[in-house]
Chain A
Amino acid sequence: MLVEVGHFALALALALSLVQAVMPIWAARTGDPALRQVATPAALGAFACVLFAFAALTYAHATSDFSVQNVVENSHTTKPFLYKLSGVWGNHEGSMLLWILILTLFGALVAVAHDSVPPVLRAHTLSVQGLITFVFVLFIITTSNPFTRATPAPLEGNDLNPLLQDVGLAVHPPLLYVGYVGFSITFAFAAAALIEGRIDAVWARAVRPWTLVAWSFLTLGIAMGSYWAYYELGWGGWWFWDPVENASLMPWIAGTALLHSTVVMEKRDALKVWTVLLSILTFSLSLLGTFIVRSGLLTSVHTFATDPTRGVFILGILVLFIGGSLTLFAWRAPLLRQGGLFAPISREGALVMNNLFLVAACATVLVGTLYPLLLEMATGEKISVGPPFFNMTFVPLAVPLLLIVPFGQTLAWKRGDALAAAQRLFAALALALAVGLATLALTWGGPVLAPVGIGLGAYLVVGSALEIITRARGYGSNRTSAPGLVWRRAIGLPRSAWGTALAHGGVGIVVLGIAAQGWATEGLATLKPGETLATGPYVATLERVSPRSGPNYEETAAILTVRDRNGNAVGAVDTGKRFYPSRRMTVTESGLLTVGASQVYASLGEVHPDGTIGLRLYYKPLVLLIWLGAVVMALGGAVSLTDRRMRVGAPTRARTKSLPPNAVPAE
């Protein structure tokens, strides 16, 4: 019964989202403000309906209701409860339902957001958001209904894919979707601005918090996914340039560019048309990512052919929104007035460079991901574009971008002084150079590029810290070195300044972690109990191999003791192979021993009848910095979000803009 009501709620959401999409536009035509107001309750209603549908599906999963096809295919009575819950979105239908749940949640948030958004802009934004909701709910109802009944209902389900039975599934998709779908709001704002034919700093101020939220969550989602793949897949890699990964990286890169261009637009009223275009592109890439993953087109042409309805439907959505919004852009963008002049050497100039490099990087990933497919369609030739290509092209684009990050923070708005900025950054540059050279000297004979990376990471971290210190010390006659005063001033700096410093410092931490992988080592051996395998500074002894059983699997576990080269015990680690009888699948559980930010990574290979095992042991120095840095970046986004100007709301247009306290004085 609940399942049918859930299904009905989805149909209701479809109708409500149509109302939400149509009414504001109609209101604009007839000039009836009451009609415009309808969008708000419609958005709230659509959210309530989807929430109910989602709850109904969750209930079916939680209670293992095997009369529902979706539960049969993805659940099992012995599956741990957490995975029964996360299993709701561990499949196509459920994950699409989560997608629209977040979509309507954002719609509802825009609807109730306090007066920071002008009413006409809000109505149009809700309208565009309603259209997106309508199309995706239609997609679910017609091609991916999660509420289909199974008749006759089987006694037992097929269980969830063992690889997905992990905390990672509980956390990663929701984070990622909030990021993906959050950009639908900026897209809707952009389309609304185009419909109105007007855009100003108020628009940028309204859009910025949403961009920050989406970006922070996407950052966390990608990092979480990367860590999950790292420990779950068992060969120690953390980024594979897989099309599915690229699908999430592209909106992230575009979103990062958007985050920076909205700053310019908000502060200086410049880059308006570009920001609108970026908003459109970012969400378009989110949609493209959805298409890539859902259609299965890139991973295998055959997957696409087995169920073309879904792929063709999403392709239709893609054409509608990307084509439609770009047409709208071409038609209406000339109406948007440009403003805010600036010199090439200025904060704006640096942010433009940021956008240039990010967009080039994004284009590279996009072309690299789609090229094999396009080439095969055009000429029939089959080629692969793998990690070596992306590493060779992406890194050279990323490095110059990272080099200008601290400069951009230091330059003044409008017209900056490159020499003065370099002088202020002298400490960071000198320290980075020293760190890089020291690393090179200490690891002489090892990799050469890794010390460069360490230097670059140090430069970013120190540069960010320096930015805060310099601003806290003040300028000109206000300059002080008294620690107490500097501390108080640092606390009093705008939260956005702290957010920027944290996010950029986080990037530096990620770079440090990535660079340190240059010194990662790997050991491989067939071991009997009592034998040892050494890698990096550690030696692992195989204590025993023993069977274990879990709630829905049987495991063969290898228990290892890890010692350092002097024989001092560091810790124990175990790695196993789990056999899930319900799916007849074997999955490797890697074992991780964390020492500081470094990890010893053990992965069990073949288990031989004579009692020996194949063991792969990695030493991953400072590997945790990669994800820790991403968390710091997201934290920076969150801190920025608490900035006063986000909380207080937009000032009216009549008020003159005043510089925030301690801001870099314009010349």
Chain B
Amino acid sequence: MRSLRRTLLVASTLTAMLPLAAGPARAVQPEEVMKDPAQEARAREISAGLRCLVCQNQSIDDSDAPLARDLRLIVRDRIRAGDDNRQVEDYVVRRYGEFVLLRPVLGWHTLLLWLTPLAALLLGGFGLWRLARRRAPPPAAALSASEEAEVAALLRRK
């Protein structure tokens, strides 16, 4: 599988958006499916958030790599053992590290990442507000006496 991906990487066109992790799609196999539909649904939900470690940007739910299959089975084993979703995730993270989470945790090292959308919006908004204030037309000053006279003269000429 890994050599397949490397070939694809080389072969993919400059910007063809075809995600590079593509391969024959198998993902979840029928025999992996849990008997209890509620538990299976939970397993799918958790799997969609766990990264296939040997693929590029693919969840274990979508991946056909053997390692992804192992992870899917681990997730189902933990559910069967009575873990809640959080505990399953913690279990997998303990074994494979934070890299496995497709949704990064909120922590000091990801603060900048999570703050980006709001920060960009606020910074932009603040900049606009500053600009609007600076660019507001100055209050029209009253004409001085000499200007008044000039205007009157111009109007008369017309």
Contact = CB atoms under 8 A, between A and B. Distances in A.
Interface of A: 74, 89-92, 95-96, 98-99, 160-161, 163-164, 168-169, 172-173, 176-177, 180, 222, 225-226, 228-229, 232-235, 237, 240-245, 247-248, 289-290, 293-294, 296, 299-300, 303, 338, 341, 344, 352, 356-357, 359-361, 363-364, 367-368, 371, 375, 379, 381-389, 392-394, 396-397, 524-526, 577, 583, 585-588, 590, 603, 605-606, 614, 616
Interface string B53-82: 000111100100000000000000000000
B25 interface: yes
Given A235-B25, A375-B109, A383-B104, A229 B121 contact: no
B17 A382 contact: no
B7 A389 contact: no
Contact of A389 (B15, B103, B120): B103
B15 A163 contact: no
A388 B137 contact: no
B112 interface: yes
A384 B99 contact: yes
Interface in B95-152: 97-104, 109-110, 112-114, 116-117, 120-121, 124-125, 128, 132, 135, 137
B7 to A, nearest CB: 6
Contacts, number: 215
A588 B24 contact: yes
Contacts of B110: 371, 375, 383
B98 A382 contact: yes
Contact of A588 (B7, B10, B25, B128): B25
Contact of A393 (B11, B29, B51, B116): B116
Nearest to A587: B24
A173 B28 contact: no
B154 interface: no
A284 B30 CA distance: 46
A43 to B, nearest CB: 23
A173 B19 contact: no
B100 A244 contact: no
Given A177-B15, A290-B15, A388-B49, A614 B25 contact: no
Contacts of A614: 26, 29-30
A89 B13 contact: yes
A361 B121 CA distance: 9
Given A244-B17, A290-B15, A382-B99, A577 B24 contact: yes
B98 to A, nearest CB: 5
A176 B14 CA distance: 10
A96 B4 contact: no
Contact of A397 (B97, B113, B117, B137): B117
B16 A172 contact: yes
Contacts of A176: 15-17
B27 interface: yes
A229 B58 CA distance: 13
Nearest to A94: B13
A387 B56 CA distance: 12
A182 to B, nearest CB: 13
B102 A386 contact: yes
Given A242-B20, A367-B112, A290 B14 contact: yes
17 contacts: A90-B13, A163-B11, A163-B18, A237-B62, A243-B57, A244-B15, A368-B116, A381-B109, A383-B110, A384-B101, A385-B113, A388-B48, A392-B103, A525-B30, A588-B24, A605-B30, A614-B26
Nearest to A242: B19
Given A244-B17, A386-B51, A587-B24, 12 more contacts: A91-B11, A234-B24, A235-B62, A240-B19, A242-B17, A242-B19, A290-B14, A356-B121, A385-B102, A387-B59, A387-B102, A526-B30
A341 B134 CA distance: 11
Interface residues of B, number: 58
A583 B13 contact: no
Contacts of A299: 9, 20, 56-57
A364 B115 CA distance: 9
B33 A383 contact: no
A225 B9 contact: no
B18 A233 contact: yes
A610 to B, nearest CB: 13
A168 B13 CA distance: 11
B25 A247 contact: no
A605 B10 CA distance: 26
Nearest to B105: A383
A253 to B, nearest CB: 12
B30 A244 contact: no
Nearest to A340: B135
A237 B63 CA distance: 12
A161 B8 contact: yes
Given A233-B25, A299-B20, A396-B117, A384 B51 contact: yes
Most buried by A among B18, B57, B58, B121: B18
Given A242-B19, A338-B135, A356-B124, A524 B14 contact: no
A50 to B, nearest CB: 16
B102 A389 contact: yes
B14 A96 contact: yes
A248 B15 contact: yes
A384 B87 CA distance: 19
Contacts of A99: 14
Nearest to B118: A360
Nearest to B14: A95
Given A526-B30, A587-B24, A344 B14 contact: no
B12 interface: yes
B36 interface: no
Nearest 4 pairs of A and B residues by beta carbon: A386-B102, A234-B25, A388-B103, A225-B17
Contacts of B31: 526
Contacts of A387: 59, 102
A524 B9 contact: no
B26 A352 contact: no
Contact of A229 (B8, B19, B26, B30): B19
Nearest to A371: B113
A344 B132 CA distance: 8
A447 to B, nearest CB: 13
Given A364-B117, A397-B117, A524-B33, A384 B19 contact: no
A524 B28 contact: yes
Contacts of B30: 524-526, 605, 614
Contacts of B132: 344
B101 A383 contact: yes
Contact of A616 (B9, B15, B27, B124): B27
